[in-house]
Amino acid sequence: MKVLLLAGLGALFFAYYWDDNFDPASLQGARVLLTGASVGVGEELAYHYARLGSHLVLTAHTEALLQKVNFLSYVQLTSLALPSLTDSKGSLVVVSSLLGRVPTSFSSPYSAAKFALNSFFGSLRRELDVQDVHVAITMCVLGLRDRASAAEGVRGVTRAKAAPGPKAALAVIRGGATRASGVFYPWRFHLLCLLRGWMPQPRAWFIRQELNITTPAAA
């Protein structure tokens, strides 16, 4: 019975992630404003969109600046772009993080900014729906990026491995092009977010499985 249940759940997740009617030709000539295009997933997104024939406007930032304006910059850019997006029935694709859905140790400031990001765009999506404004919002829940600064930030703390940047970027593009409400990469992050609802206060021993820390020795 358990085997059948797991197989059924696996089939549902497979259908959810792959039956998205993604047509690469739909991005030919599309106008894309891409922030954070100098490094990481943003850089990979720029490469993918260019290959697909999209017209790009690129912006960049330093890592230090990003940490200071992580949340506020999203809000300001969205406010400025929303009138144009409303007229064109466009899309907002927001690159967030698993830490914006599932809090973890040693990441309080970053996690707080990402939780705020998810709350803001979740509320905005509802406001647009009730006003019949056809602007899609795709929230992307990504893991660690496979670049030096991301790995260095958690070196010696977590056992989690970085996800490949090009594949993560392609998952973001697919989600945005199909106007999906959410993208999870790797896909197992969706399961983690569901488990978060079932186990809001996980035991300390469970959390330590992803961390390179040990419990203090007994006196």
Distance from C-alpha of 65 to C-alpha of 189, rounded to nearest angstrom: 27
CB–CB of 61/35 below 8 Å? Answer: yes
CB–CB of 75/120 below 8 Å? Answer: yes
Distance from C-alpha of 103 to C-alpha of 206, rounded to nearest angstrom: 13
Helix (H) or strand (E) holding 17: helix 2-18
- Of the listed 16, 47, 74, 110, which one is catalytic? 110
How does DSSP assign 139-177, residue by residue?
A: EEEE--BSSHHHHHHTTTTB-PPPBPHHHHHHHHHHHHH
The answer to whether residue 17 is catalytic is no
* Dihedrals phi, psi of 194, to nearest 5 degrees: -65, -40
Enzyme catalytic residues? 110
